[in-house]
Structure 1
Amino acid sequence: MQTVIFDMDGVLVDTEPVHRYAYFRHFEELGLAVTDAEYATFTGRSTKNVYQHLKDHYTLAQPVEEMVLAKREHFNRAFDEKPDFDLLPGVRALIEDLHRHGLELLLASSASHSTIGRVMRRFELAPYFSHLLSGEDFARSKPDPAIFARAAALARSPAAECVVIEDSTNGVAAAKAAGLYCIGYDSIHSPSQDLRLADLVVADFGELSAARIAALAVD
């Protein structure tokens, strides 16, 4: 394996509490009684896709883009004001190890370009990644494989030498549908996710290294 494609939420950072806060503040403004069970189905989906679903399901009059921007305002305020927001344990060391050993890194996240940019700037990660892909640019969210297929197409190495690191049911399904090797990250921040389709599952980034990833091979 020569290329590692990272998801972002639940893999690099845990922005879920910030997203949840922003979504539910906006749901209140819209007068929506979204249940926890319904919210759980949004995991791995882009914000645009979520609001398209809500617009269709609840027959909302507001344009999708308007709702996306309103939610983003709530998120950005919370993002900037949350002092304990940090990278997940072990992921910076893994990124640095992969980069030091010459593996190419890409990001393929359902998050918006705005959120990806904020994470890259706050944690100074941009120099490590050759490409940053956002779910905003794709008509369908994970588990649709389009974002991972595009990431593999942009990579320097062929798809057979690309590995995806994902934490969600939808993300793992998307990676496998794109024909890529997938490492499932069993994160405490992403509960109730089914990672059984992953080729390898780890619970700690300390289990991974550039040497171990480079040695992975598709059966």
Structure 2
Amino acid sequence: MVKKAVTANTSTLLFDHDGTLINSEAVHYKLWCEILLPYGVSLSESLYCDMMAGVPVKQNAIDLKNHFDISASTLALENEKHEKVEAFLKEQPFPLMPYAAETIKACHEKGYTLAIVTGGSKLSVEKTLDGYGLREYISTVVAVEDVTRSKPDPESYQLAMEKLGVAASACVAIEDTMHGLQSAVAAKLDCVVIPTAQTANHDLGLATVSYGSLQHWLEAEVL
């Protein structure tokens, strides 16, 4: 029997945002490279993938300062990253991952309650929902501004379930990174993992099940 995360008891699907619904990691990597250049730091894509993908900006700044012994404060690095993301989002939303819009609409049509639970900013989610006409399908959003401890802490998923009034046993999380997976598992959620090129080397062994794309998961477990 093929293992599945979505069962007859599942009523609610909790989607990660960066790397799961939007193809943003390449942009985040580019922006961090721009920030670090004046400090003489060259950030390799492999280090970004291993240490930073799927991690909130605040922790990214701490990790970068410690790893490279950067003279700037972590707060200065964090603020500059937020400013660069805001400037990017003023021009356009992040591009969607392949089949993201189709997945959201199909899951909604099947009667599932949908939420977005992200370690990223609420602004980024808002731009996605408005830019691609997806707002009507999403019942709630939990972003980094809404919690004290973001992923990999379980607080963001716990808050989403509290806002929706559902138990973990009725929910499935959809993630792409080790840190997001750790957050979901700590919140006692079953978790589908759909790794990207940036997170393919992450330890994803705690996942309930893994798929190569949103479309593969949708066709295997939802439709």
Q: 1:59 to 1:70 in 2, by over 3 A?
A: closer
Give 3-state SS (helix, strand or coil) of 1:44's partner: coil
Give 3-state SS (helix, strand or coil) of 1:183's partner: strand
| Coordinate RMSD, CA, aligned | 2.7
What amino acid is aligned across from residue 83 of structure 2 in structure 1? E
Give 3-state SS (helix, strand or coil) of 1:208's partner: helix
Q: 1:2 aligns with which of 5, 11, 32?
A: 11
Match of 1:157 in 2: 166
Percent identity of the aligned residues?
27
Match of 2:83 in 1: 73
Native 8 Å contact 1:11 1:166 kept in 2? yes
Q: 2:121 aligns with which of 112, 118, 122?
A: 112
Match of 1:208 in 2: 217
What amino acid is aligned across from residue 179 of structure 2 in structure 1? N
Match of 2:59 in 1: 49
Q: 1:195 to 1:63 in 2, by over 3 A?
A: closer
Distance 2:219 2:111 in 1: 9
Question: 1:170 Cα shift?
Answer: 1.1
Match of 1:190 in 2: 199
Distance 1:63 1:171 in 2: 22
Question: 1:55 Cα shift?
Answer: 4.8
Distance 1:193 1:10 in 2: 13
Match of 2:22 in 1: 13
Give 3-state SS (helix, strand or coil) of 2:52's partner: coil
Aligned residues: 212
| Structure 1 position 100 matched with structure 2 position 109 | yes
Distance 2:219 2:170 in 1: 13
What amino acid is aligned across from residue 50 of structure 1 in structure 2? N
TM-score, normalised via structure 2 length: 0.81
Q: 1:161 to 1:169 in 2, by over 3 A?
A: same
What amino acid is aligned across from residue 69 of structure 1 in structure 2? N
Q: 1:172 aligns with which of 172, 178, 181?
A: 181
| Structure 1 position 122 matched with structure 2 position 136 | no
Structure 2, unpaired ranges of 5+: 1-9
Equivalences for residues 54-65 of structure 1 within 5 A: 54-55=64-65, 58=69, 60-62=71-73, 64=75
